[in-house]
Amino acid sequence: MKYEPLLHIVLHQPEIPHNAGAVGRTCVATACKLWLVRPLGFRVDDYYLRRAGLDYWEHLEWEVVDDWAALTERFGPCNPYFFSKSAMRSYLDVSYQPGDVLVFGSESSGLPPSLTQTHAERLLRIPIRPQVRSLNLSNAVAIAVYEAQRQWPRPHAETSWHGRGRT
């Protein structure tokens, strides 16, 4: 089922299929499109990728692109938000808009300096205690997506679920 995504979620060089699958599931639940930027640490037909997304994967809007340049070419002009543990600005200090692009780095190394240095003013952080190195990638995506959608007037949120919630 094709839909106009409420947000675009970019995983830049993800390594773990379970995380990408869980992010895909969140994207289906929230009407977001998932973008995977190569190189990937798994094959897109990977059993674990689809297993983590369970039976929702067929409903996911997603694309794989070869590199950052290919992604920006597909988007055209846009101002993505980049999530990084080294950012100073909180993800709560942003007014998200439908259609925004949220970019997350790989599990082991985060976003590359080519992105964090070039887009320093667009870096966002999800605050965590110093005892924790980082959040799980799929958890970070879910936190950011739900905060963005929480900020919008209710009609946007209701279109995400098309009135099909459980009672």
Q: For 19-58, what is each residue's pLDDT tens digit?
A: 999 999 999 999 999 999 999 998 887 676 666 656 788 8
For each of the domains in the chain, give its residue range(s) and CATH number, in order of start.
7-161 (3.40.1280.10)
Burial of 2 (0-12, 13-18, 19+ CB in 10 A): exposed
On the question of pLDDT at 132 being above 90, the answer is: yes
Name the 3-class secondary structure at 61.
Answer: strand
Which two three-digit tokens encode residue 19?
Answer: 């995380």
Which two three-digit tokens encode residue 162?
Answer: 């098309």
Overall average pLDDT of the 91-113 stretch: 96
On the question of pLDDT at 17 being above 80, the answer is: yes
Residues 6+ apart with CB under 8 A from 87: 123, 124, 125
- Max CA separation in the chain (angstroms): 47
- pLDDT recorded at residue 1: 57
To the nearest whole percent, how much of the chain has pLDDT over 70? 84
On the question of pLDDT at 166 being above 60, the answer is: no
Question: How much is the pTM?
Answer: 0.88
Overall average pLDDT of the 111-134 stretch: 95
pLDDT: which is higher, 4 or 63:
63
On the question of pLDDT at 162 being above 80, the answer is: no
- pLDDT recorded at residue 50: 65
pLDDT: which is higher, 3 or 9:
9
Overall average pLDDT of the 96-123 stretch: 96
Report the distance separating Cα 143 and Cα 58, nearest Å.
23
On the question of pLDDT at 107 being above 60, the answer is: yes
On the question of pLDDT at 157 being above 60, the answer is: no
- pLDDT recorded at residue 54: 61
pLDDT: which is higher, 118 or 43:
118
